[in-house]
Amino acid sequence: MADREILKHHAQLFDSMASTLGHDLQEAAIQGKLSIDQITDAVLSCTQCSNPEHCTGWLASRERALQTPEYCRNRDLLGRLQP
């Protein structure tokens, strides 16, 4: 997978993970809860995941979740967005 495709794939995984937790990343950025730099860093962190295929399956198996899987590299960041 080319670097651009890897970034796009992980950006989608991060957005899907946030959505599954009930977060709208665009709205969080508008409200100042999350900066664009934090989103960029989160996507880059996601690219370092050793098993994105498992994440893809985890996301496909549920519509909603209360928290990320233990292995999620963005677990703390997404947890801080909880109300």
Residue 1 pLDDT grade (very low, low, confident, very high; cuts 50, 70, 90): low
**Could you read off the pLDDT of 65-80 as tens digits, one per residue?**
999 999 999 999 999 9
**Could you read off the pLDDT of 34-52 as tens digits, one per residue?**
999 999 999 999 999 988 9
What three-state secondary structure class fits 82?
Answer: coil
Q: What is the pTM of this model?
A: 0.93
pLDDT at 49: 94
pLDDT at 74: 97
How crowded is residue 49: how many other Cβ atoms within 10 Å of its Cβ? 16
For residue 60, the enclosing domain spans: 4-81
* Nearest-angstrom CA–CA distance, 26 and 57: 24
Number of domains in the chain: 1
Residue 55 pLDDT grade (very low, low, confident, very high; cuts 50, 70, 90): very high
How crowded is residue 43: how many other Cβ atoms within 10 Å of its Cβ? 20
Of 53, 60, 49, the residue nearest 16 (C-alpha): 60
Greatest C-alpha distance within the chain = 37
